[in-house]
Structures are given as C-alpha cells and as structure tokens.
Structure 1
Amino acid sequence: MSGRPEVPAADDAPLLQVEHLKTYYPVKSGIFSRTTGFIRAVDDVSLTIRKGETLGLVGESGCGKSTIGRSIVRLENPTSGRILFRDEDITTKTRRQLKPVRTRLQIIFQDPYSSLNPRKRVSELLSEPFIAHKLADKKDIPARVGRLLELVGLPRGSGNRFPHEFSGGQRQRIGIARAISFEPELIVCDEPVSALDVSIQAQILNLLGDLQRELKLTYLFIAHGIGAVKYISTRIAVMYLGKIVEIGNKEELFRNPKHPYTRILLNAYPPPDPEARSAGRILIRGDVPSPEHPPSGCRFHTRCPYVRDLCRTAEPPLGAEAHAAACHFPLDEPSGLPVLK
C-alpha cells in the first residue's frame, strides 16, 4: 500500500483502560435450555489505549477481537472486569447513563450495508445523531451533514441517495461519517476494510489516517489480516483464543516477535521481496481449540512447534513491559521480515 498515513504522536495519558475483561456467552442445552457451559470469547484481557494512538488488534477469526470491541462500546455486556474511559468506569452503566458517553465513544462496523437502514436516505441516517443527542440546531443539520460527506470524500449531493445506490467502499465511508458525526474521541474500527478490495482498503485506511490527524481521533483497529494493522497502527496486540499473547510497538513487534503465534502470523504476510520471508519461518499445526473448553496452561501449546512440558500445565503471564509476550520460552531471533517505515 502506498501513501501510508502518518500516525500522530500519542499522548501518554490513557484514554481507555481495560482491566481483566471477561465476556462469556452461555451454552444452552436440553428441553429446558439449561446452561451447561460458557463460550469464553474474551478471557481476562487487559490493555491500555493512549490518546492519539492507534492500537491494532489482530488474530484469527473467532479469537474474540470483535467481542472486545463490542464490549468496550457496551454493545455486549462484560461478564467481569472493568472498562475505564477517561478514568470513568462504564462497565455497568445503564443505557441511559451511557448516552453522554456514546458521543465520545463510537464504532465502525465490518459490514457497512447491514449497519445502514436501507429504507432511509443517507442524509436521514447522518442527521439522526444530531437529532437524538441534540448536537446541532435543526436548521444547521443539513450543512453539518454536507460537511460530513465532504470529510469522507463523498459529494454533498449524495445525501439524497439510498445506501444500496453506493459501492461497498462508499458505504463504508458513510459508516465512518456517521461515527465521526458525534465528534468522538475514540473509535473502535471493527474490521472496517476486510470486506473491501485491496485498492479500496488503501483508500479507507488513508481516509482514517487523515481523519485521525484532522479530528484528533484515537482508534482501536481490529482486523484478522496483519497487513492492514501494520499499515495504520502505532502499537499492535496479538490475540489468540480469548487472550492477548503479545503486545508492543509496531516496529519492534515486526522486527523481533517473541511469541511463536505472532511469528506465524507474520509468516503469513507476504513481503514485497519473496526472498525476505525465508528467515525464521515456522508453520502452524492443528486446529483452533474450542473456546468452551480451552486447553490448560498456555492456550497455544496444542499448536506450538516449541511446546515443552511447562507450557501444558502453567499459564504464562503477559508482562507489563512495553514489548511483552505471554510465553514461557519467548523467541529471541529477529523475524527477518521488512518493517514499513
């Protein structure tokens, strides 16, 4: 991807803190629908996002990435743990109590078509936040809507059209416009480019970078492909089976991944130079275990080529250092993969 957006310098003050977050879904069975177990979609995750940065969250499908994002904006109710937004605990707030927080904390969905009401014109969809949250006088709303469309690269007159009249990339721009209409501080980007063609992905990522600089936004950027996360993020957190297994600065994580799972994800990313992918290449084996019955010890031990007895019995902690990995025997050799500057 060319024209990579410059990432603004992050503030040291945490904008969002997630502490020991767990989000479980009950498994029902029998004629009385009794709870017989739980899907541990997110299982004891802690992370911090500083103002002005983009934290990329990457992992295989089904590892719990989207559940973290939806829990942060309270579209899902966490089972336990705390979510602090600007030092305010929003974990157990009611829908009414969350209303003032909604304007500062927004989400962009993966599928822009299903998240847009097909029966309403785009101008109506973009007017709703101003009306519901009393963000503008009624007479000023059309001008505000026109400005939103311009910000996301759409003509002002396109507000009279319906969502089905736009391409996938244009619909995602509308979804972005709706998210920024609240003038939020933090936006959860839940795989916003995964359903788009590669050329359109680059345009949307560049748009997100431009908006971040202009509107001073902070992002949690969720994706299952390492390429998009690498392109836009300041720091990257790698997730596997409900847990974060590695987190660190983007350049350091790509240069020297400590967790075997991170190394495997990087191997799957095709570099511009095919010769560059030969160093330190390892392959994954087996299938992802069930989140209802995760393995004991390290959750990756059933697929790890470096597994030892300790990995099967003791769960490795994720350290508090800037570049941390939840691994008893972290890798120490460089990946040999190029890092985007």
Structure 2
Amino acid sequence: MTPQAAEDQGHSRQQLLQVERLKTYYPVRSGVFGNARKHIRAVDDVTLTLHEGETLGLVGESGCGKSTMGRTIMRLEHPSAGRILFENEDITQYSQRQLKPLRTRMQMIFQDPYASLNPRIRIFDALAEPLIVHKLAERSEVQREVNALLHLVGLPHSAGARYPHEFSGGQRQRIGIARAILFRPKLIVCDEPVSALDVSIQAQILNLLQDLQAELKLTYLFISHGIGAVKQISTRIAVMYLGRIVELARTEQLFRQPKHPYTELLLNAYPPPDPTLRSRKKMMLHGDVPSSADPPRGCRFHPRCPYVQERCRQEEPLLTEGEHAAACHYPLA
C-alpha cells in the first residue's frame, strides 16, 4: 500500500497512539551538591496522534529531540509531564512490570542493530528465545517460526546459524526488523533505521518496511533526519525543532507547500531527483541548533529564520489546528 492510499484510509481508522503535551526533561546538575539549575528540554510540550495502519514521519536536525520522543513513547525514557495513550490505555506511569506485556504490542527498530544484538549468540537463538519466553510457539514449532521470520525479511534460513558480526549492516538491520515483527505488534517505532546504511541499501530496507506494513497491518512512527527517506515511507510528516513540533501535514502537502520557514529550509537541503528542477539558488539553513537547556525567547527558530520579525523575538507561536498545522506567526503562502 502506498503512503497516499494509507492516508486515504487513515481518516476512518481508529487512533492507535495519542501523545498529549508530552515533556521529557533532563536535569543539568552543577555545584558542590549537584543541584539541578537547568533542564535540557529534549521533548517540550508535544501533542501527536497516530492512526492504525499509517506511518507518521518525525523529521528534524540532530539534537531536536526526535529520538528522545520515540524512546519516551516506548517508555524507555520516563516522561516528565503529559500523557501517552496506547489503544486508549494510559501507559504514562506504568511500572516495568506493567510494561512487560505491553512490549509484545509495541516494538522498536534501532539505528544500530549490532548494538542491540548479543554478539555471543546465534541469530536463531536471538529470535527463538522471545518466542519461547512469551510462549508464542511450542518448542517443536520454533524452528519453523524462525525460518518464516527470516524469509519475511529476505534472509536465507542458513542465516540463523551465524553470529551478528558475520552480517553486513543492511543484513543486520533486517535481523533487527525480524526481531521487531516477531510479536506481530500494533506499533513499531523506527529510530533512524536507515541513516547508517548506503543509499542503495536504504531503498531496500524502506521497501521492506512498506511491504511488511501492508502484509502485517503495522503502524510506524518513523524517525529520521533524512527527509528523502521520510518522504518515501510516510503518510504524514511532523517536523520537530528544539523539542517542539513546528509543522504537521500530509506528506504531499508538506513537500508541495511548506508553511514553516524551518521546513522550507529543510526541503531546500533535499536535492530533487531531477537536476533540471534546480532553477534558482535557494536559501539554505545556517547556524547551529540553540541549546535546549536555554531556548531562545519567542519563536525558537527566530535566530536562524530568514523571515524573522520583531514579534517572532518576543512571542512564541502555537501550533495551529487542522490538517496542515504550523507554529509560525507569519506562515509561508
């Protein structure tokens, strides 16, 4: 199913995930007694909704808080404030014991699959153990189930007898995907799953994720700083800057007519597939992301914005409502 087709169906589907005013702060300690004088506002008052069967892309520069957002939704990080509702179940304050059964319904694909694989055990054992522990298959059926998983992600059955270091980066990511779909979860958070791969391998992994989504009826939160990958796979895209969502729209609409200057500059940095489309010199993104421990007053993007006005320096804009939302006092036409 294409992102556009999923989008057309998404409006009639139920909400799978709802994030309400989510905050994840980390204390910056100093002094003899280690008092927290400031906080790094990694995720700062974010509200999002994800429908069954869609892919929501979350894009932004490194340090904008998108990976922390994904980890907080998965409850690998503890939220400082706000709510996380999964299938209408408030999981915000769940203990580790309460989260354990939830892990079969929510899974994560990491940027570096090698770091999440035990280098001392074979791939077969890495996939078989969860099946046995969670009683998803009888011991006599484990071999068949693991072989079916490997086949789903495009790996031969013989891969099960090998160790993580014997695979290429793309193959290891396929193993990471196999482990994520093992429980047939409802939601998968993909945290930069292709950023460490060659471009040709990136396309293969993105195609695999789309095929699995259609076959297994998966829902993705796809996190990346590469807007090209996000464009290929996403139904909708949320643009994140310094801990906050600054624009949210359908993929086609966001690429055709961005409303926030930050989104426009991100798109300008994305090379078009047809070089003849480069008809004029475009404004590019300059400067570094300010510290999330001390964000600028007013609009957080104003120190880097080419369209900045006095109001932007004094008053922080709110994210508008509607199908194409933007947090900008003077949205682009």
Q: Normalising by structure 2, what TM-score? A: 0.96
**Correspondence 1:105-124 to 2 at 5 A:** 105-124=106-125
AA aligned to 1:244 is I
Listed as ranges, the matches of 1:109-188 within 5 Å are: 109-188=110-189
Q: What whole-Å deviation, never above 9, does each CA across 1:75-126 have from its counterpart, x for those lacking one?
A: 1001010000011000110011111211011000000111111011001111
CA positional deviation for 1:34 = 2.2
Question: What SS does the aligned partner of 2:22 have?
Answer: strand
> C-alpha distance in 1, partners of 2:175/2:4?
23
Q: 1:194 to 1:20 in 2, by over 3 A?
A: same
Could you tell me whether the CA contact under 8 Å between 2:3 and 2:235 is conserved in 1?
A: no
**8 Å contact from structure 1 (residues 259, 326) kept in 2:** yes
Asked if structure 2 preserves the Cα contact closer than 8 Å seen for 1:5 and 1:205, the reply is: no
CA 1:314–1:257 in structure 2 vs 1: closer, same or farther (change >3 Å)? same
1:33-54 superposed Cα distances (whole Å, 9 cap, x missing partner): 2222111000000000100000
1:315 aligns with 2:302: no
SS at match of 1:113: helix
Return 5+ residue gaps in structure 1 as ranges.
Answer: 333-341
**C-alpha distance in 1 between matches for 2:100 and 2:73:** 14
Structure with greater helix percent: 2
Q: Residue 221 of structure 1 corresponds to which residue in structure 2?
A: 222
Q: Distance in 2 between matches of 1:30 and 1:326?
A: 37
Partner letter of residue 176 of structure 2?
G
Residue 272 of structure 1 corresponds to which residue in structure 2?
A: 273
Contact kept? 1:258, 1:330, Cα under 8 Å: yes
Q: Is the 8 A contact 2:3 2:234 kept in 1?
A: no
Residue pair 1:7, 1:232 contacting (<8 A) in 2 also = no
> How many Å separate the matches in 1 of 2:228 and 2:78?
30
Indicate the percent of aligned positions where both proteins have the same amino acid: 68
Q: Give the equivalent residue in structure 1 for 2:51.
A: 50
Match of 2:244 in 1: 243
Tell me what 1:336 maps to.
none
Distance 1:6 1:237, change over 3 A: closer
Aligned residue type for 1:35: A
Which shifted more, 24-33 or 184-193? Answer: 24-33
- How far has the Cα of 1:281 moved from its partner? 2.8
Structure 1 equivalent of residue 75 of structure 2: 74
RMSD: 1.6
State the SS of the aligned residue for 2:286.
Answer: coil
**Post-superposition shift, 1:13?**
1.3
Displacement after TM superposition at 1:245 (Å): 0.3
Determine helix, strand or coil for the equivalent of 1:114. helix
- The residue type equivalent to 2:288 in the other structure is D
1:248-267 equivalences in 2 (<5 Å):
248-267=249-268
Q: How far apart are residue 285 of structure 1 and its match?
A: 2.8
The 2-side partners of 1:65 and 1:132 are apart by 32
Say if 1:7 and 1:209, in contact at 8 Å, map to a contact too: no
Once the two structures are TM-superposed, the CA of residue 32 in structure 1 deviates from its matched residue by 2.9
Amino acid at match of 2:151: E
Partner residue, 1:299? 300
Query: 1:59: which partner in 2?
Result: 60
SS of the residue 1:269 aligns to: coil
SS in 1 for 2:332: coil
Task: Give 1:287's aligned residue.
Answer: 288
Q: Structure 1 residues 215 and 312, CA, compared in 2 at 3 Å: closer, same or farther?
A: same
Match of 2:303, SS? coil
Letter in 1 for 2:125: E
* Structure 2: runs of 5+ lacking an equivalent: none
Paired amino acid for 1:44: D
